[in-house]
Structure 1
Amino acid sequence: MDRGQTVLVCGDDEQRVAETASGLEAVEHGFDVQAATGETALGSVDDVDCVVSLQFDPPSLVTDLRAERPDLPVIVFAGGGTERVNEALADDTLAYVQPGTETQYVVLAHRIESVAAVDPGTVDGFDRYGEVIGALDDGVYALDDEGQFIFANEALAELTGYSVEELLGEHTIIIKDRETVELAESKLRELLSSSGRDEVGTTFELALRRADGETIACEDHMTVLYGPDGEFRGTAGVIRDISERKRREELLSALQETSRSLMQAPSREDVASIVAGATERVLGLDMAVVRLYDADERVLRPAAVTDAVVDRLGERPVYGLDEGEAGTVFASGETASYSASHELDEGGTTAESGLYVPVGVHGTLSVLSTEPDAFDDIDRQVVALLATNAAAACNRAKREQEVRETRERIATILDRINGLIQNTVEVLVEATTREAVEAGVCAELAATEPYTFAWIGRPAVQGNQLEVREWAGESAVAMDGAAVSVGEDTPGATALADGTTEVFDELGDIDDEWVQRAHEARVASMMAVPLAYTDSTYGVLFVCSDRPDAFDDREQIVLEALGRAVANAINAIESGKILSADKVIELEFTVNDRNLLMSRVSAATGATLASAGTVTQDDGSLRLYLDVEGADSEAVHEELDADSVRSVTQVAEHDGSALFEVTVEDSLLATLVDHGAVPKAVTGENGIARYTIELPYEGDAREVFSLVEDNYDGTDLVGYHEHERPVQTQQEFRASLAERFTDRQETALRTAFLGGFFDWPREVDGDELASAMDISRPTYHQHLRAAQQKVYEELFE
């Protein structure tokens, strides 16, 4: 190694000079440390690289040293106040180090190395550390004040495409954008003049022009050096190739744009097209195949192929899970990469390079090339990331597609059910005879998919038989004049005896003549619905379908409710209980009184409240179901939980609305019901409660209104109408159903219906509803199932 830097430590205190010299030698920086006291220091500066002065006084020492050696770096290593330090620095002293710290000699040694650097106009400094510089992967250079190379390491030569010999003596313009360098140097000079330091460094990006004309992105850590007299001496720096980093940044940026497109793709096929296009557009790899997995056939089908693949390899085949590289990768879930020639499948088609990446459980992405070793690490990383994003997009697209299909299916089912109910209700309302009811119901069912045949059997006066009265549908299952024996195991026996619905999905196993005839006529499933009203049984309704498993829970609920409605109509006809419509009075009034629950809560929270139903309990209290919109549910819950309320429970919350169950001791609703009123609608908004009620024609509407007006402030009559009441009001229908419910059953069913349990997708689950009733989930479902046997959702609402 060449000689170390020679350092002269001087001052008036001989002991302190010796301590400082020993301290510098102890830090093992390779200094040749000399010591001098008083005026002898002036005669010792000829062969030193740096002077360390241990005092500010006498001021002439620094001045005399600088006069003797103008380029000699001087470091003041002495205590003193701020004024004295500033005075020394203003006196053209090059540097100052504060003594007295634990690391004072280490700091002093580093400062000596920085101010006593070898003249940048020579290569001695680089030669001293040649082994270290030569081992660097980054390019290291030094330029003189004319911008010519005076030093360059092998890494720089490799980076630029020139040899070291070609670089030395050449102007920097041959490898760098000179304007960029000049701007950097100008910036450095400004920093230098404002900082008072001799050496300022900065980092900037530049376009480095190689010997072959190629331009690559680089990062230059450049330092501009000046001599003690302020003269510009040149620049030195480290150049790093950041082209891969820039490329990675650009690819990731482009990939983000692709990811946004992927997350908006409506289907897996659209995802495949976007991925294939991005592989070509973003990565510049023009041969890509995206295959999607067909779960039904258990194969991988090409869903998107770039033009270059078709041009060079032809149409791509469908692969099984054990075929081709794509099948292997999909089955294993592991990426495969080839840098040399390999076969794509047993068909003999080859590629020189290939990347095969699984796209989750949805398929694979194959990126091919006709060139060997065509993919670098960045290509592999970005392709893997693209496949991961594609898998996430496929998951989202699949879920959304399933939701759309489910909604369409439910909409179709609801349209069919609504049409069936509407048409059947018209039949029941218009029919004046039992035969008309039975014939009309069979005709409506047979005309509605997925039903193909329907018939009604009446129990015979004597014997265990069902007499076929009406039928409609497939003529091959004609039931004219037939009578079906009802044995212990025959269809309809349980429905007739116990009033329980029966569903049959395997007709081939039933040893019954008419069932076998129906089976031969392509009837695949069947349901027997009891026609029962209170204690009376009017027969069994048989509904047939050409689809297996056609009678799911939803179908059963609809048909059971339909059976009860038919039985009710038959009972009314046969008992002569079809009554002419009664006249009723509809009364509508508003109340602005904070003693009313609806008025108080809507005024305090800004919510809109609407009664979704009431239940009078055995102890005389009233349970209200309130739909709330337009306010924070927690605030509404807190406002509802007042002295006049016995209990309040939030049953459900979804889409900006919430359902509450509230139990009150006394209420205006209970008072109205006691006076013969039938509540039709109760709402609260902006502190005003609005009530719409119906009263029998004979009732005294004036008396009821006066009762409200006398007890509540701000009562106004806003509507009074007389109109015809239907044969059976909704309230009466609910009352008839309530007679067959237990308290728990009605609560479970109403909570489920109003809380969104029957919606798809469900808004709540059984745990939440069971918790609202303070019972276990199994107990809740037991009550719910029992209630479902007694009513179906459309008629309940």
Structure 2
Amino acid sequence: MKSGVAVLVCGDDEALVTETARALERVGDGFETRTAASDASASSVGAVDCVVSVQSETPALVETLRRDAPSLPVVAFGDWDADVVSALLEDGATEYVQRGSDEQYVVLAHRIERAVTVDGDAPSVAHEGFERYAEVIEALDDGVYALDDTGAFVFVNEAMAELTGYAVEDLLGEHTSVIKDHEAVTVAESKLRDLLSSDAPDDIGTTFELQLRRADGETVPCEDHMTVLYGPDGEFRGTAGVIRDITERKRREEMLSTLQETSRSLMQAPSREQVAAIVANAAERVLGVNLAVVRLYDADERVLRPAATTEATTDRLGERPVYDLDEGQAGQVFASGEAAMYGESHRLDAETTAQSGIYYPIGVHGTLSVLSEEPDAFDDVDRQVVALLATNAAAACNRAKREQEVRETRERIATILERINGLIENTVEVLVEATTREAVEAGVCAELAATEPYTFAWVGRPAVRGDELVASEWAGDAPIAMEGLSVSTSGDAPGARALAEHTTEVVDDFSGDDEWSERAREAGIESMMAIPLSYTDSTYGVLYVCSDQPDAFDDRERVVLEALGRAVANAINAIESGKILSADKVVELEFTVDDRDLLLSRVSAATGAALSSVDAVTQDDGSLRLYLTTEGGDSDEILAELADDDAVVEATRVAEHEGSALFDVVVETSLLATLVDHGAVPKAVGGENGVARYTIELPYEADAREVFSLVEDNYDGTDLAGYHEHERPVQTRQEFRASLADRFTDRQETALRTAFFGGFFEWPREVDGDELAGAMDISRPTYHQHLRAAQQKVFEELFE
């Protein structure tokens, strides 16, 4: 090759032509460049060694040069499509170089040198081109080689020699498989005949993977970017290539594949223990080390327990110990939450050492330890892999723990529902079949005591005198002496708040010095729930449910037992209320109350009128409708007093006649409603001069003293005025009224009541139909229609 190469750069784009010329002078060895437009003729070319056609729209210049200067090399440099490239080569372009690569100008310079021949010495072009750029090529980490048309190495760099395991001088002149006429052929026997063992591609230039066999017989995965070189006449000139060791890339690909497989397995693991086994196995497969330990945190004992180890770990290090927090490398990593990596000898714990190790926390679930008996066995990639394994393991443990909790919760709920369904079914049967209060209490206690986790149940009734609950019925295996047991309701004894506030009370501490707490401690009771037996404003006592397990009463238990308590109270109320209907004898109880907490007491004291309740009806919303007659006093003042009273929801004056008046009053709560709830039948209720007077009937076997004590305990100035026992009539007024009430509509009943108590049936009439209709806010014809319908039903009940 002559010392200087004159190159003419032509093209349509003046800026691109100038850039290409300058780049060739910079990278070429002794290049002298000139520039011209793409329409240059052979005469204008002058004395040059090579012409570079840069991105010309047409191959016109190539055609002209080939005609006028057939021996002048022309290198096409652009990014044309395949048709243009084909036309350029057919018209005589010596070389074609694709624009756009990182090394485009180096490749262009190499092709120019290859195209330029001196004294017809074409076969040496490839070798000389590489020699020109030997300094740059030697700086590369990848192996670079050049083969002549016989398949012999004419150039290799030091990286290629290191990759193959041969010295440079041993490779030069040797042969291997090459591309000739687009087919793989074996050229010569040599010690490198198997160096490139894969079939080479049939493209001009391509990248493929191969297994390179080193001098020592080791096989190394490589990637070869091979280019086949052709001369101007299309003859094969040689091969050039760049070989890169892809061992690390292959290792990472295998790591990634194994990690993906591991991740899928982890997401399906049903438990933390299964997660640990998968991670230990994956550490061995991915990192190629056989010493790995996964520990899981035991929250109850606050220790790290070995959950999974590789077989080699046990063989070489023995059974791995349990670590306390901060003990050993694993304990320290778990406690701090920070990973650790060692490349030299260090202690695992007081008895064991390792040469290399990576220790990573698995979230709040445990640790992963990967060990080696070689120093500096792990790099940053290994650390990243261990971090990814630990992170995925933590996520899998979280998922497995949640799913396990869901399974356990479902099983627990199923067990609870089965137990609750059985308890409710049996208790409802007891409530339906019981005919006495004692049977209700005894049956409920027996059913509760027979249901886990309950071991004992009892009912405490309020004492007639004194602030205490007295045990009435009980059942269970707990050794508790219940005879004579009482619980104070005036302090903090268990159940006192349940009775006073009508709310459930859960007790987990029996350290009190009251009698019940002492007996519960001795019997091994760990927790208890006190449920008030409440119906409206009345409480029939407290149901105590006990367990020998701590914290046995969660929210579900409370909901069920509260509902059970209400059902028991309703049953007791129904039994107590129904006694009056079936009793052969009744007790008539009369008492007075001088307490302004009662409506009749307040109104009579404020107005000076005498008030009497002639009827009372419980409405659907639970309120009580009273029909009050008054004697004396000013009716306007009485109406105003009733309307302004906080206990009154609604007050209406129905009728008025010569100092007497009838009022329709709706109240939310009253002592009268409480008495009815306890089985009493009101006979007469009134109020005069601030003193209310009640006459009620009770079933003979009922505890009249208990009812009187209920009033006495809640109202000041309560005095017993009379107590009488007498035979029950064949049909009580209550029974007769109940049968009629079932036949009336609401309007019919109201029309009849207002007419009767308003004096409509007196003669002369004390009130006319207009007044009564106005009180009901309906027309007079409509009122009379309701009244006549009600009268007909009364007469039918009397005479049919």
Which whole-Å deviations, capped at 9, do the CAs of 1:242-285 have from their partners, x for residues lacking one? 11101110121122111111111111111111111222234331
Judge conservation of contact 1:505–1:525 (CA < 8 Å) in 2.
Answer: yes
2:435 to 417, 423, 432: 432
- 3-state SS of 1:508 partner: coil
Aligned residue among 415, 418, 438 for 1:415: 418
**Counterparts of 2:321 and 2:88 in 1: how far apart (Å)?**
84
Native 8 Å contact 1:160 1:175 kept in 2:
no
Shift of 1:143: 0.3
Residues 538 and 567 in structure 1, CA contact (< 8 A), matched pair in contact too: yes
Q: Contact 1:476 / 1:518 at 8 angstroms: preserved in 2? A: no
Q: Alpha carbons of 1:265 and 1:97: their partners in 2 closer, same or farther (altered >3 Å)?
A: closer
Match of 1:32 in 2: 32
- Shift of the 554–155 alpha-carbon distance from structure 1 to 2, 3 Å rule, reads same
Give the Cα separation in 1 of the matches to 2:458 and 2:19.
Answer: 116
Counterpart CA distance in 2 for 1:617 and 1:57 is: 107
Give the aligned partner of residue 6 of structure 1: 6
Q: 1:210 Cα deviation (Å)? A: 0.5
Residue in structure 2 matched with residue 584 of structure 1 by the alignment: none
Structure 1 equivalent of residue 162 of structure 2: 158
The answer to whether the 8 A contact 1:24-1:31 is kept is no
Corresponding residue of 1:476: 479
Uncovered stretches (5+) of structure 2, i.e. residues with no partner: 116-121, 178-190, 583-619, 623-800
Shift in CA distance, 323/128, structure 1 to aligned 2, threshold 3 Å: same
CA–CA distance in structure 1, aligned partners of residues 195 and 174 of structure 2: 13
CA distance in 1, matches of 2:345, 2:497: 73
Residue 258 in structure 1 maps to residue 262 in structure 2: yes
In structure 1, which of residues 556, 559, 576 is the aligned counterpart of residue 558 of structure 2?
556
Match of 1:334 in 2: 338
Structure 2 residue 135 is the aligned partner of structure 1 residue 138: no
Q: Which amino acid aligns with 1:524?
A: E
Q: Is the 8 A contact 1:7 1:52 kept in 2?
A: no
Determine whether 1:453 maps to 2:450: no
Which amino acid is the alignment partner of residue 32 of structure 2? Answer: D
1:437–1:43 Cα change, 3 Å: closer
Kept in 1, the 8 Å contact 2:9–2:21? The answer is no
Corresponding residue number in structure 2 for 1:763: none
Q: Tell me the equivalent position of 2:570.
A: 568
Which residue of 174, 180, 190 maps to 1:170? Answer: 174
| Match runs of 1:266-345 below 5 Å | 266-345=270-349
For 1:35 and 1:487, locate their aligned partners in 2 and report how far apart those are by CA, in whole Å.
Answer: 114
1:653 counterpart residue number = none
* Contact 2:176 2:196 (8 Å CA) reproduced: no
1:295 is matched by which residue type in structure 2? A
- Distance in structure 2 (CA, Å) of the matches to 1:22 and 1:561: 92
Report how far residue 176 of structure 1 moved. 7.2
Mapped to 1, the partners of 2:405 and 2:144 lie a distance apart of 61
Q: Is residue 467 of structure 1 aligned with residue 464 of structure 2?
A: no
State the secondary structure of the residue aligned to 1:477.
Answer: coil
Contact preservation (8 Å) 1:271, 1:394 = yes
**TM-score of the pair, normalised by structure 1:** 0.62
SS at match of 2:335: helix
Counterpart of 2:447 in structure 1 is 444
Q: Is the 8 A contact 2:24 2:109 kept in 1?
A: no
Q: Where in structure 2 are the equivalents of 1:272-671 lying within 5 Å?
A: 272-347=276-351, 349-474=352-477, 476-509=479-512, 511-576=513-578
* Counterparts in 2 of 1:572 and 1:357: CA distance versus 1, 3 Å: same
In structure 1, what is the Cα distance between the partners aligned to 2:575 and 2:9?
A: 126
Contact residue 427 and residue 440 of structure 1 kept, 8 A: yes
Give the AA of the match of 2:146. Answer: A
What do the CA deviations read for 1:400-434 (whole angstroms, capped 9, x no partner)?
A: 11222222222222222222211111111122222
> Would the alpha carbon gap of residues 424 and 150 (structure 1) be closer, same or farther in structure 2, given more than 3 Å must change?
same
Contact 1:465 1:486 in 2 (8 A): yes
What amino acid is the match of 1:158? E
Superposed CA RMSD? 4.1
CA gap of 1:483–1:391, structure 2 versus 1, over 3 A, is closer
Alignment of 1:224-239 (within 5 A): 224-239=228-243
Query: Runs of 5+ in structure 1 lacking a partner?
Result: 189-199, 581-615, 619-797
Relative to 1, partners in 2 of residues 1:244 and 1:577: Cα closer, same or farther, differing over 3 Å?
farther
Residues in 2 aligned to 1:345 and 1:518: alpha-carbon distance in whole angstroms: 50
TM-score with structure 2 setting the length: 0.61
Alignment match, 1:662: none
Q: In structure 2, do the counterparts of structure 1 residues 386 and 406 end up closer, same or farther at CA, with 3 Å as the change threshold?
A: same
The percent of aligned pairs where both chains have the same amino acid is 68
- How far did residue 322 of structure 1 move? 1.7
Partners of 1:108 and 1:339 in 2: CA distance: 45
In structure 2, how many angstroms separate the alpha carbons of the residues matched to 1:252 and 1:97? 37
Aligned-pair distance for 1:25? 6.2
Shift of 1:297: 2.0
Q: Which residue pairs with 2:694 in the alignment? A: none
| Structure 1 residue identity aligned to 2:428 | V
Pairwise mapping of residues 109-124 of structure 1 onto structure 2 (< 5 A)?
114-117=111-114, 121-122=124-125, 123-124=127-128
> Structure 2 vs 1, CA of residues 245 and 2 (structure 1 numbering), >3 Å: closer, same or farther?
farther
| Equivalent residue number for residue 598 of structure 1 | none
Task: Describe the SS at the equivalent of 1:555.
Answer: helix
- Shift in alpha-carbon separation, 1:327–1:523, aligned structure 2, 3 A: same
- Residue 621 of structure 1 is matched in structure 2 by none
Confirm or deny: 8 A CA contact 2:304 2:324 kept in the other structure: yes
Which amino acid in the other structure matches residue 546 of structure 2?
A: C
Q: Contact (CA 8 Å) 2:146, 2:156: kept in 1 or not? A: yes
Residues 559-610 of structure 1: per-residue CA shift (max 9 Å, x gap): 2211111121122223338999xxxxxxxxxxxxxxxxxxxxxxxxxxxxxx
**1:740-795 alpha-carbon deviations (Å, 9 max, x no partner):** xxxxxxxxxxxxxxxxxxxxxxxxxxxxxxxxxxxxxxxxxxxxxxxxxxxxxxxx
- Which residue of 2 is the match for residue 704 of structure 1? none
Aligned equivalents of 1:8 and 1:146: distance in 2?
33
Contact 2:174 2:192 in 1 (8 A): no
The Cα of 1:345 is off from its aligned counterpart by: 1.2
Corresponding residue for residue 706 of structure 1 = none
Compared CA separation, residues 138 and 484, structure 1 to 2 (3 A):
closer
For the 8 Å contact 1:460–1:466, the answer to whether it is kept is yes
* CA apart distance, 1:179: 7.9
Structure 2 matches for 1:718-757, cutoff 5 A? none
Distance 2:474 2:348 in 1: 64
Instruction: After TM superposition, give the deviation of residue 75 of structure 1 in Å.
Output: 5.5
Asked if 1 retains the 8 angstrom alpha-carbon contact of 2:196 and 2:211, the reply is no
Q: Any idea what the Cα deviations from partners look like across 1:468-494, whole Å, max 9, x if unmatched?
A: 221112453221244555434444444
Letter in 2 for 1:516: E
Pairwise CA distance, 1:381: 2.9
Contact map agreement 2:255 2:286 (CA 8 A) in 1: yes
Instruction: Tell whether the 8 Å contact from 1:176 to 1:209 is kept in structure 2 after alignment.
Output: no
CA distance in 1, matches of 2:259, 2:243: 29
- Quote the offset at 1:208 in angstroms: 0.6
* Residue in structure 2 matched with residue 74 of structure 1 by the alignment: 74
TM-fit CA distance, 1:398: 1.1
Residue 237 of structure 1 and its aligned partner are, at CA, apart by 0.9
Q: How many residues align?
A: 548
- Report the secondary structure of 1:506's partner residue: coil
CA 1:39 to 1:444, structure 2 compared with 1: closer, same or farther past 3 Å?
Answer: closer
Q: Distance in 2 between matches of 1:316 and 1:83?
A: 71
Q: Which has the larger radius of gyration?
A: 2
Tell me, in whole angstroms, the C-alpha distance in 1 between the residues paired with 2:543 and 2:256: 66
Distance 1:574 1:85, change over 3 A: closer
Tell me the equivalent position of 1:210. Answer: 214
Q: How does 1:696-735 map to 2 (within 5 A)?
A: none
Measured in 2, the distance between the counterparts of 1:332 and 1:428 equals 61
- Measure, in 2, the Cα distance between the counterparts of 1:63 and 1:523: 116
Shift of 1:311: 1.2
